[in-house]
Structure 1
Amino acid sequence: MTKNLAIYTRSLTKQFDRHTAVNNLDLEIAEGEVYGLIGPNGAGKTTLIRMLAAAEEPSNGEIFINGDRLLRDKSNPTLKRRLGYLPDDYPLYDELTVWDYLDYFARLYHLREPYRTQRLHEVIELIQLENKRNSVISTLSRGMKQRLCLARTIIHEPIVLLLDEPVSGLDPIARMQFREIIKALQEAGMTILISSHVLTDLAELCTSVGIMELGFLVESASLQDIYGRLAHQQIVISTLGNLEELKKELRNNSLVEELEVLSTTNSIRVNFSGKEEDSAELLRSLVGAGIPLSNFQCTQEDLESIFLNLGHKQAS
Structure 2
Amino acid sequence: MISTKNLTRRFGSLVALDNLTLEIGPGEIFGFIGPNGAGKSTTMKILACLLKQDSGEAIVCGKNTRTDSDAIRRLVGYMPDFLGVYDDLTADEYLQFFAAAFTVPRSRRRAVIDQVLELTDLTDKKHAMVDSLSRGMQQRLGVARVLIHEPQVLLLDEPASGLDPRARIEMRSLLIELRKMGKCLMVSSHILSELAEMCTSIGIVERGSLLFAGSIDDAFRKVRSAALDADGPSIGAARERIVVVLHPASAAIDSIAAALRRDSRVESVAIESPTSLNIDLRLSEREGHAFAADLLIASGARIHSLAPAEINLEDAFLKLTTGALQ
TM tier, smaller: 0.7 to 0.9
2:124 maps to which of 119, 122, 131: 131
Q: Following the alignment from structure 1 to structure 2, what is the Cα–Cα distance between the partners of residues 259 and 88?
A: 46
1:113 maps to 106
2:44 maps to 49
* Counterpart code for 1:56: L
1:306 maps to 316
Query: 1:249–1:38: structure 2 CA closer, same or farther, 3 Å change rule?
Result: farther
Aligned-residue offset at 1:11: 2.2
1:59 maps to 54
- 2:17 is the alignment partner of 1:7: no
Contact between 2:29 and 2:199, CA under 8 Å: does it hold in 1?
yes
Aligned-residue offset at 1:128: 0.9
Say which SS state the counterpart of residue 210 (structure 2) adopts: strand
Q: Following the alignment from structure 1 to structure 2, what is the Cα–Cα distance between the partners of residues 142 and 247?
A: 56
- 2:29 is the alignment partner of 1:34: yes
1:150 maps to which of 137, 143, 150: 143
1:172 maps to which of 156, 165, 169: 165
- 2:97 is the alignment partner of 1:104: yes
Aligned-residue offset at 1:268: 6.3
Show CA shifts across 1:258-302 (max 9, x none): 96969xxx9666766553553455456667767797654445535
1:215 maps to which of 208, 216, 239: 208
Q: How many positions carry a matched residue from both structures?
A: 307
Query: 1:49–1:65: structure 2 CA closer, same or farther, 3 Å change rule?
Result: same
Query: 1:161–1:247: structure 2 CA closer, same or farther, 3 Å change rule?
Result: farther
Which consecutive residues of structure 2, in runs of 5 or more, have no partner in the other structure? 226-239
Show CA shifts across 1:122-168 (max 9, x none): 11111111222222223322111111111111111111111111111
1:18 maps to 13
Query: 1:81–1:19: structure 2 CA closer, same or farther, 3 Å change rule?
Result: same
Question: TM-score, with normalisation over the residues of structure 1?
Answer: 0.81
Aligned-residue offset at 1:66: 1.3
Please give the root-mean-square deviation of Cα atoms over the aligned residues, in Å: 3.5
Identity of aligned residues (%): 35
Query: 1:58–1:278: structure 2 CA closer, same or farther, 3 Å change rule?
Result: closer
Q: Following the alignment from structure 2 to structure 1, what is the Cα–Cα distance between the partners of residues 217 and 247?
A: 36
Aligned-residue offset at 1:222: 4.1
Query: 1:166–1:255: structure 2 CA closer, same or farther, 3 Å change rule?
Result: farther
1:199 maps to 192
Q: Following the alignment from structure 2 to structure 1, what is the Cα–Cα distance between the partners of residues 269 and 202?
A: 26
* Counterpart code for 1:307: F
Q: Following the alignment from structure 1 to structure 2, what is the Cα–Cα distance between the partners of residues 174 and 46?
A: 22
Question: TM-score, with normalisation over the residues of structure 2?
Answer: 0.78
Aligned-residue offset at 1:52: 1.1
* Counterpart code for 1:310: L
